[in-house]
Amino acid sequence: MASLRGANALTMTMRRICVLISGRGSNLEALLAAMAAGTLGGAVVAVVSNRADARGLAIAAAHGVPTRVLDHRAFAARDAFDAALADAVDACAPDLVVLAGFMRVLGAAFVRRFDGRLINIHPSLLPAYPGLHTHRRALADGARIHGCTVHFVTPDVDVGPIVAQAAVPVLPGDDESVLAARVLAAEHALLPAVVRWYCAGRLAVADRQVRVAGERADGDAVLAVPRPDQ
């Protein structure tokens, strides 16, 4: 695996982004595609995973992004893993840390260390359905609208200030996998947009409310994804 040193010199003048993953890395891939297209406003300088078999590591390597694995199972205590992870993240001097499918709950010390520059994408319209199995729960409740949320991370899980959301319809005949795929497509549009706003200095948090400077009157922090048949 590549060292976290040696990032492209271009990143010296751009916002530096560290992405934490645990699995397939599709949201990471969306960020890297936006970076390659010059629309991200920042540079992904490192990807850190808590799983050596995470597919996202290969995606990062294919884009020339340094990677590192820190297996949480190698640590006797959660706090020890969090401390090692924080040191690994700090090693790449990030302006922003993005949790993109990172399946570990981070402790308060880690969150405080990166306060104000730590965001997460969650597969529901928070505050509805925090935690796991969000699509299954939405279907069980008969929800008509579902979606995803990007929020700043706080020590309490999935309750941090909401930056933006994308809503998708729940259609007759949807099962968990079909609905999950529709939400994931929305995530791939929403997360790069939020990262772009952050890198442009457009986000401000006051009294747990996020303001997006220059937000349109129709609310560009709310993305409505069309029905598949439209």
Instruction: Give residue limits of the domains in the chain.
Output: 7-114, 123-149+163-230
Report d(CA 54, CA 45) in Å as an integer: 18
Are the C-beta atoms of 36 and 63 separated by less than 8 Å? Answer: yes
Report d(CA 35, CA 52) in Å as an integer: 24
The one catalytic residue among 63, 72, 122, 151:
122
Q: What is the pLDDT of residue 10?
A: 44
pTM of the model: 0.92
What burial class does residue 128 get, using C-beta atoms within 10 Å of its C-beta: 0-12 exposed, 13-18 middle, 19+ buried?
middle
Are the C-beta atoms of 15 and 31 separated by less than 8 Å? Answer: no
Same fold, 7-114 and 123-149+163-230: yes
Catalytic residue list contains 135:
no
Please state which architecture CATH assigns to domain 123-149+163-230: 3-Layer(aba) Sandwich (3.40)
DSSP H/E element including 119: strand 118-122
CATH class of 7-114: alpha beta
Query: For the segment 30-76, what is each residue's pLDDT rounded down to a tens digit?
Result: 999 999 999 999 999 999 999 999 999 999 999 999 999 999 999 99
DSSP secondary structure, 33-68, as one string: HHHHHT-SSEEEEEEEES-TT-HHHHHHHHTT--EE
